[in-house]
């Protein structure tokens, strides 16, 4: 059953043609909420994958390509009280705001999406989406940065410098900066691959924690691992766990997230495909499963 009426989607497309200002205005006029309330935990859906060309789920290389389907699933998730908000690029945030899906929901704008998946320059994560000025201007609740560190790529240094600047800029504005530090390596063909070693993950957590002239508004977005006590222990900053595409391992991934929530600074989850494109296509069931450990007492007031 769809949540987004086709007529509303067609009205959105017509607004892009005839009234584009309405999309820009929709974010600024939405009903906002505090970032932290109730139990202090957050369940966010992630929809910034398309902005760097990531469209695959499992064996379907075009699963996220259809915009109506993506918006329908996002509207469904955001209609549930268990969901606190969404992380997305400007196109998706404006569309959701225009559709009225962001009232009393957090809107986190993704910022550096230049590292197109599979490209030769994939680790060159340049600022191609929101910048700090527009995060503030459009009334967003935070900005998100991807910081992939690979020890042999000299270009990573400029990404670190850019990330430090943005952390400072958002902190000066009193706005959350959600930093996603990930250790990477290159395979024999020169392609970027996630480094899953614990010591490298702890190292990039330490680097990300020290970025900028102030860390007061910095949150971290990190993968959940079995040794989450070690990873979370490397920083005092609030941590949101990232999602990814769990495929057939979804039960094990959900269990890993649940166990990680015992760490005092692990405050929730930012998940995209695992919630929006579960194998059984039941978005509501996936959200409820995640909410069971993110908001176990249902306290979001």
pLDDT in tens, 24-49: 999 999 999 999 999 999 999 999 99
**CA–CA separation, 14 and 277 (whole Å):** 27
| pLDDT number for residue 188 | 86
Three-state DSSP class for 147? strand
The residue ranges of every structural domain in the chain are 6-294
User: In the block, which residue shows the tokens 């700090």?
Assistant: 132
Q: With 90 as the cut, is the pLDDT of residue 246 above it?
A: no
| pLDDT number for residue 300 | 63
Q: How does residue 1 score in pLDDT terms, banded at 50, 70 and 90? A: low
Phi, psi (rounded to 5 degrees) for 52:
-120, 20
Q: Where are the alpha helices (DSSP H) in the chain?
A: 6-18, 20-29, 67-78, 90-98, 132-137, 156-172, 198-209, 228-232, 250-260, 273-276, 283-294
| pLDDT number for residue 59 | 86
Phi, psi (rounded to 5 degrees) for 58:
60, -130
pLDDT in tens, 56-107: 998 889 999 999 999 999 999 999 999 999 999 999 999 999 999 999 999 9
**CA–CA separation, 111 and 132 (whole Å):** 8
Task: Give residue 235's region: left, alpha or beta (phi > 0; psi -120 to 50).
Answer: beta
| pLDDT number for residue 250 | 84
| pLDDT number for residue 44 | 98
Q: Note if the pTM is more than 0.75.
A: yes
Cβ atoms < 10 Å from Cβ of 121:
13
What's the average model confidence in pLDDT over 121-146? 96
Q: With 80 as the cut, is the pLDDT of residue 228 above it?
A: yes
DSSP letter, residue 32: P
Residues pairing with 108 in the sheet: 87, 142
Architecture of the CATH domain 6-294: Alpha-Beta Barrel (3.20)
What rounded mean pLDDT belongs to the chain?
A: 94
């Amino acid at each position: 059953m769809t949540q987004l009426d086709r007529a509303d989607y067609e009205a959105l497309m017509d607004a892009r043609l005839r009234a584009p200002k309405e999309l820009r205005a929709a974010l600024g006029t939405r009903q906002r909420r505090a970032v932290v309330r109730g139990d202090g935990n957050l369940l966010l859906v992630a929809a910034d994958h398309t902005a760097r060309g990531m469209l695959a789920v499992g064996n379907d290389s075009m699963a996220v390509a259809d915009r109506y389907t993506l918006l329908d699933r996002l509207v469904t998730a955001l209609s549930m009280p268990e969901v606190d908000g969404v992380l997305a690029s400007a196109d998706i945030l404006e569309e959701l705001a225009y559709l009225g899906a962001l009232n009393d929901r957090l809107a986190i704008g993704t910022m550096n999406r230049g590292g197109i998946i599979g490209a030769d320059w994939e680790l060159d994560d340049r600022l191609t989406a929101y910048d700090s000025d527009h995060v503030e201007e459009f009334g967003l609740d935070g900005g998100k940065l991807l910081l992939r560190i690979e020890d042999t790529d000299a270009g990573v240094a400029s990404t670190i410098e850019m990330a430090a600047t943005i952390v400072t800029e958002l902190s000066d504005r009193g706005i959350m900066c959600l930093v996603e530090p990930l250790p990477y390596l290159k395979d024999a063909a020169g392609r970027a691959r996630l480094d899953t070693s614990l010591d490298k993950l702890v190292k990039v957590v330490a680097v990300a924690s020290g970025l900028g002239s102030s860390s007061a508004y910095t949150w971290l977005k990190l993968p959940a691992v079995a040794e989450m006590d070690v990873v979370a222990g490397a920083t005092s900053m609030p941590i949101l766990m990232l999602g990814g595409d769990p495929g057939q391992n979804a039960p094990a991934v959900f269990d890993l997230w649940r166990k990680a929530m015992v760490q005092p600074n692990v405050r929730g989850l930012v998940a995209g495909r695992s919630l929006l494109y579960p194998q059984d296509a039941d978005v509501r069931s996936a959200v409820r499963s995640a909410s069971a450990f993110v908001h176990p007492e249902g306290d979001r007031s």
